[in-house]
Structure 1
Amino acid sequence: MPAIRHARAGDVDRLTAIGLAAWQSAIAGLADGERMRRVAEASFFRFLSDHWLSVLLIEAEGGIRGWVAREDFDNAISDLWIEPAVQGRGHGALLLGEIERRIVADGFDVATTKTHARNDRAVTFFRNRGYGVSWLSTAYAP
Structure 2
Amino acid sequence: MIIVRLARENEVPALAAIGLDAWEKAVSSVADAQAMRRIAELSFLSFLRSNWFSVSVVETGGSVAGWAAREDKDGTISDLWIEPSMQRNGLGSSLLADLEDRILVGGFEAAVIRTHAQNDKAIGFFRKHGYAISSLSTAYAPKLDRDVESVGMTKMLGKPAVHQDQQWF
Question: Does the CA contact (< 8 Å) of 2:69 and 2:80 recur in 1?
Answer: yes
Task: Give SS of 2:5's match.
Answer: strand
Greater strand proportion: 2
Stretches of 4+ moved more than 3 A in 1?
Answer: 137-141
Give me the CA root mean square deviation.
1.3
Show the counterpart of 2:124. Answer: 124
Amino acid at match of 2:55: V
- What amino acid sits opposite 1:77 in the alignment? I
Counterpart of 2:46 in 1: which secondary structure?
Answer: helix
Per the alignment, in what secondary structure is the counterpart of residue 16 of structure 1? helix
Q: Partners in 1 of 2:76 and 2:18 — Cα distance? A: 21
> CA separation of 1:88/1:141 partners in 2, compared to 1, >3 Å: closer, same or farther?
farther
Find the counterpart in structure 2 of residue 61 from structure 1.
61
The code of the aligned residue for 1:42 comes to: L
The structure richer in helix per residue is 1
Structure 2 residue 26 is matched with structure 1 residue 26: yes
Matched, 1:113 2:151: no
Secondary structure at the counterpart of residue 111 of structure 1: strand
Offset at 1:105? 1.2
Q: Structure 2 length normalisation: TM-score?
A: 0.80
- Give 5+ residue unaligned stretches, structure 2: 144-169
Deviations 1:84-138 (A, max 9, x none): 0010001000000011011111111101111111000000101111111122246
8 Å contact 2:29–2:118 — kept in the other structure?
Answer: no
Seq. identity, %: 50
CA contact (8 A) 1:54 1:72 kept: no
User: CA–CA distance in 2 between the matches of 1:65 and 1:15?
Assistant: 8
How far apart, in 2, do the equivalents of 1:30 and 1:138 lie? 13
In 2, Cα distance between equivalents of 1:141 and 1:46: 20
C-alpha distance in structure 2 between counterparts of 1:65 and 1:117, whole Å: 25
Partner SS for 1:4: strand
Q: Give, in angstroms, the shift of residue 62 of structure 1.
A: 3.7
SS across alignment from 1:80: strand
Residue type at the aligned position of 1:63: S
Q: How many residues align?
A: 142
Higher relative contact order (CA 8 A, sep 6+): 1
TM-score (norm 1): 0.94
For 1:33 and 1:135, the matched residues in 2 are separated by: 25
